[in-house]
Amino acid sequence: MKIIYLLLGLLSLTNILFAQGPPIYTDTPILLGLDGRGIRTFGKFISKENVNVYAQPLAVPINLGVDFQVGAIAPYMVISPKNKQSVSGFGDISVFAKYVFQQSDGPGKTIRTLIKFMETFPTGSTTKMPQIGSGVNQTYLGLVSGIINLKYALYGELGYSFVSDNTPDNFIYAASVGIPLLPQKYPPHQINIYFGFNGSYEFEVKKNVLYLSPGIQYIAGKKVLLETGVQLPVIEDVTSGFKTNYVFTFGLRVLLY
């Protein structure tokens, strides 16, 4: 059960990975940019009371059309409990699909909404302690929406994660606002700052987890984007010993061609 909290906490990480551009901690309804020809390296260091987790996902997003994307993700994880030996390996593999069903464009602005489906399979090892895998199937269905213009961008996500084996389901919610600090131009040379929150709520056991998620992003040209951020727990109804101190994220996105 404890590992479930860890893995569900990593859900926002998949949002980062599959986002085709900004923002950092929320998903985006814009399926542009990488077009399936990019590399993203993203590291996430999670500091908890009795354990540290480092996750480095490997992901393959493929655009099957301008409004349809599929992909798979396999996170490599290192879990280091205090006073115990570290365990590492690939965690649960996920496949996902996104479909943009609403798009409203204007000069310098766009409003888009997509539906997201993600299935996570219990492929991660559960034979060692601590477990790398969750041991359960997770089916996520969500809506991602964004209002993006030249002065600011608002992103939001609502979703529900159905978890197998009598493990509580999760309601997922996230929102963020991004503000560019430099004039918009192309090729891009931009610094964006983000403020947002990410949370999940278990209806059955009435447990809530909420993080504040500020971040900063530097777009160094057409093909390179650097970003970093921190997530700080505001509400965290989890088992004692697994409370989060902070989550530190750093990443690089590179378009190959």
Partner 1 sequence: MLKKNIYSLFIVILLSVYLFSMITNAQTEIDKSGKKYVRVDVDGLACPFCAYGLEKKLLGIDGADNFNANIDSAYATLTVPAKSKVTKDEIKQIVKDAGFSATEVLFSDQPFKK
The residues binding partner 1 (CB under 8 A) are 20-22, 30-33, 35, 66-67, 103, 105-110, 148-150, 153, 183-188, 190, 219, 222-223, 225, 255
Task: Tell me whether residue 108 or residue 241 sits nearer to partner 1 (CB atom).
Answer: 108
CB of 68 to partner 1, least distance (A): 11
Give the pair of three-digit tokens for residue 30: 């814009």
| Smallest separation (angstroms) from partner 1 to the CB of 174 | 19
CB of 203 to partner 1, least distance (A): 35
C-alpha pair distances (Å), 233 with each of 197, 200, 211, 217, 248: 10, 12, 4, 21, 12
Beta carbon nearer to partner 1, 84 or 151: 151
Report how far apart, in Å, the C-alpha atoms of 78 and of each of 6, 83, 90, 190, 205 are. Answer: 12, 15, 9, 33, 29
Indicate the helix (H) or strand (E) that contains 247: strand 244-255
Amino acid of residue 64:
L
Q: In the bound complex, what is the minimum distance in angstroms from residue 157's beta carbon to partner 1?
A: 18
Residue with smaller CB distance to partner 1, 1 or 62: 62
As measured in angstroms, the least distance from the Cβ of 97 to partner 1 is 17
Tell me the closest approach of the beta carbon of residue 230 to partner 1, in angstroms.
22
User: To 5 degrees, how large is the angle CA 90–CA 207–CA 232?
Assistant: 65
> Among residues 180 and 199, whose Cβ is nearest to partner 1?
180
Q: Burial level of 38, CB count in 10 A (0-12/13-18/19+)?
A: middle
- The distance of closest approach from Cβ of residue 222 to partner 1 in the complex, given in angstroms and rounded to an integer, is 5
In the bound state with partner 1, the residue whose beta carbon lies nearer, of 54 and 218, is 218
CA of residue 238 relative to chain centroid, distance? 20
Q: How far apart are CA 56 and CA 79, in angstroms?
A: 12
CA-CA distances (angstroms) from residue 231 to 45, 175, 209? Answer: 10, 13, 12
Residue pair 145/155 in contact by the 8 Å Cβ criterion: yes
45 versus 68: smaller Cβ distance to partner 1: 68
Q: Which of 235, 227, 222, 230 is nearest to 251 (CA)?
A: 227
In terms of CB distance, is 30 or 175 closer to partner 1?
A: 30
